[in-house]
Amino acid sequence: MSGHSKWSTIKRKKEKTDQARAKVFTRIGRELAMVVKAGGPDPNVNSKLRDVIAKAKANNVPNDNIDRIIKKAAGETGGAEYESLMYEGYGPAGIAVIVEALTDNRNRTAGEMRHYFDKCGGNLGQSGSVTFMFERKGLIVIEGEGLSEDKVMEDALDAGADDFTFDGDVFEISTDPNSVGAVSEALIEKGYTFVSAEAAYVPATTSTIDDPEMVAKMEKLLDMLDENEDVQNVWHNWEANEAE
């Protein structure tokens, strides 16, 4: 079956330090709180909450932490109000970049995004300027070591997946973007754990960068975005080689 491999991105995530992992927990906690306030604390009713819970579990957020965040958000009346925003633009060498953010100050976050892109030789675009180059999919990634390709494919399709690929390192299971939580839950019941599980923007085609200076600038842009507390996810169509 056809599919797009994002293993280089997954590897980058897996190499995060403990400090970066704590930052991931904080970001997911903010996302959990926002969807609870918007749609309630019951994942059987709130499909967005179910999807974020799947994402939290894939990032090894303990169940106790997830339950505590949900209960706290359900009982809160006030506090910071976050809104979900998406920024689009081109990084160095024309690499298409999508940034998903949760912010309590859109002017601050927009200014920071514009600064990052400008500083690294890119430019922030208008809404729709690059999303046409991506497809919105649910994407569940499972490490392949010790697993049977036929068995994983059978279980994935039985769980409601749309597509399935294996590149020798990981299994990539794609779903409808609104079905990540449901498919993840079905696979968890079958005993699987995940490298990641989330609604993703998957590029239709990828681009490489030949100029080492542009590679360094692209890495810098990704690092700056990763350091920003408002940034939830970054998607791009850069296909780095092994050396990079």
pLDDT at 213 over 70: yes
- H-run or E-run covering 174: strand 170-175
Q: How far is it, in rounded angstroms, from Cα 208 to Cα 12?
A: 17
Q: Is 2 exposed, middle or buried (0-12, 13-18, 19+ CB in 10 A)?
A: exposed
Structural tokens at position 146:
């010790």
pLDDT at 183 over 80: yes
How many CB atoms neighbour CB 210 within 10 A? 8
Report CA Rg, the chain: 18
pLDDT at 162 over 70: yes
Residue 10: the pLDDT is 46
pLDDT at 15 over 80: no
Give the three-state DSSP class for 243.
coil
Q: How far is it, in rounded angstroms, from Cα 190 to Cα 147?
A: 13
pLDDT bin (cut points 50, 70, 90) of residue 17 is: low
Backbone angles phi, psi at 206, to 5 degrees: -115, 165
What is the arithmetic mean of pLDDT over 180-190?
A: 91
Residue 73: the pLDDT is 85
Averaged pLDDT score across all residues of the chain: 86
pLDDT at 37 over 60: yes
Return the DSSP state at 191: T
The CATH homologous superfamily of the domain defined by 133-203: YebC, transcriptional regulation domain (3.30.70.980)
Give yes or no on whether 84-129+205-236 and 133-203 have one common fold: yes
Which of these CATH numbers, 3.40.1190.20, 3.40.50.720, 3.30.70.980, 3.40.50.2300, describes 84-129+205-236?
A: 3.30.70.980
pLDDT at 4 over 50: no
Backbone angles phi, psi at 72, to 5 degrees: -65, -45
Which is more confidently placed, 4 or 221? 221
Q: How far is it, in rounded angstroms, from Cα 113 to Cα 119?
A: 10
Is the model's pTM score more than 0.75? yes
CA distances, 12 to each of 42, 153, 227 (Å): 33, 25, 14
Residue 8: the pLDDT is 45
Alpha helix stretches (DSSP H) within the chain: 7-14, 18-39, 47-58, 63-75, 106-119, 149-158, 180-189, 212-227
- Of 52, 3, 60, nearest to 180 (Cα)? 52
Q: How far is it, in rounded angstroms, from Cα 184 to Cα 170?
A: 16
Looking from the CA of 113 toward its CB, the CA atoms found within 13 Å total: 27
Q: How far is it, in rounded angstroms, from Cα 37 to Cα 70?
A: 9
pLDDT bin (cut points 50, 70, 90) of residue 95 is: very high
pLDDT at 102 over 60: yes
Q: Is the domain 17-75 a CATH 1.10.10.60 member?
A: no
Q: Report pLDDT digits (tens) over 114-157.
A: 999 999 999 999 999 999 999 999 999 998 889 999 999 999 99
Residue spans per domain, the chain: 17-75, 84-129+205-236, 133-203
Structural tokens at position 136:
């919105």
pLDDT at 92 over 60: yes
Which is more confidently placed, 53 or 22? 53
Q: Report pLDDT digits (tens) over 225-243.
A: 988 989 998 999 998 775 5
